[in-house]
Amino acid sequence: MKRRRPRFNDLAPLLRFKRPVLNPTTRRLRAALTIEDLRALAKRTTPKAAFDYTDGAAEQELSLCRARQAFRDIELRPAVLRDVSRVDLACEVLGSRSLLPFGIAPTGFTRLMHTEGEIAGTTAAAAAGIPFTLSTMGTTSVEDVALANPHGRKWFQLYMWKDRDKSMALVERAAACGFETLMVTVDVPVAGARLRDVRNGMTIPPTLTPRTVINAIPRPGWWFNFLTTEPLTFASLESWGGTVAELLDAMFDPTVGYQDLRWLREQWKGHLVVKGVQSVDDAQRIAAEGVDAIVVSNHGGRQLDRAPVPFHLLPDVVRAVGGDVEVFLDTGIMSGADIVAAFAHGARFTLIGRAYLYGLMAGGRAGVDRAIEILSGEAARTMRLLGVSSLEELTPEHVIQFHRLAPRPL
């Protein structure tokens, strides 16, 4: 083999230097290619108690693990020789158009993850053309969320309190601020056993102990933001000084029943959604109450451990009530392919919780934008590779579910 001395003209095309990105947050977010990458960033930048509150689930965390595993245990079956030069990710949800097939789920205590909290979430959602859901346990008032997002789609999630007057006062505030949809969560009669929070001594607001101070040393940015911005303002209460579980048990009413759902249907004039459905029987009973949509969800695995896997349950629920109400899905979604799989099995919409919170913790509003960008890019690419150009073209034949767990005959 003959060799020669390299010439500069040969090397010049190979020497391409990127302009350096001086902002470290921007640099890290650009390098994040998946939601798992954002999770890793979030873990490095957020104190353990706040990160574990977001990342953790109930007891042994089997419900969450199984929900995520269900999406991994699928086979995607593409059709070839299709024109996929253009892909439309938009869908109709509750009578209006969402530019993407997912919205932001209600999440509590969001400003603990990052000081921008719900404002980052709602402005990012508005920019992306998707709905944002404010939680009863949010850390920004309904009025401030409405002010930050005056024209975007705003939904309000309600937990029924023991004090019904306070519940209705919240609902009235949301209606007055232009929230179009009321999402009632029904799977929290009592707080789930979130053992990470117990072990971390998680309180609202965070308690400064020797352990938390030591954990904060390599994360000064979080503490600087937390201590130099406005104190936490809750969407639904003035203050609290105990643990998360104590707060939930003190506020929420374990006697809530179908009569309360009927009462809310009479009171609320907008769209009514019920979140936390985990059986076909409950889906049918709730659909009969005149709601507009149900969310098949096990609360991100944060309530009953070993609960049904929402993605496995989805096709049965769609067959039972999909002609009467819109069926949404949440829990376990960590990629755009997961969202595509949900639509293939009949979901009309999906909600993301942890996926957007990882972005929030990793970089505030810019991190939420990055999470939305990652999910939408993955969804579009998955659809192209499947040979479909719109969500309406997805069918169960595109996605095969494999079950690791199957019931044993009695």
Residues with a catalytic annotation lie at 299
Look up tokens 């997805």; give the residue: 394
Write b or e for each residue in 206-227: b if 16 or more Cβ atoms lie within 10 A of its Cβ, otherwise e.
beeeeebeebbeebeebbeebe
Which of helix, strand or coil describes residue 142?
Answer: helix
Look up tokens 């993407």; give the residue: 100
Cβ 108 vs Cβ 114: under 8 Å = no
Which of helix, strand or coil describes residue 276?
Answer: strand
Q: Are strands 326-329 and 349-352 parallel, antiparallel or unpaired?
A: parallel
d(CA 313, CA 265): 26
Cβ 255 vs Cβ 295: under 8 Å = no
Give all strands (DSSP E) within 111-239, no chain letters: 132-134, 154-158, 181-185
Cβ 165 vs Cβ 171: under 8 Å = no
CB atoms within 10 A of CB 336: 25
Cβ 73 vs Cβ 103: under 8 Å = no
Dihedral angle, C-alpha 53, 71, 308, 292, nearest 10 °:
90
Q: What token pair was written down for 229?
A: 């911005």
Integer angstrom CA distances of residue 350 from 20, 130, 132, 347: 37, 11, 12, 7
Instruction: Output the CA angle 259-263-267, nearest 5 degrees.
Output: 170
Cβ 311 vs Cβ 71: under 8 Å = yes
Cβ 293 vs Cβ 326: under 8 Å = yes
53: Cα within 13 Å, side-chain hemisphere: 24
Look up tokens 């990127």; give the residue: 18
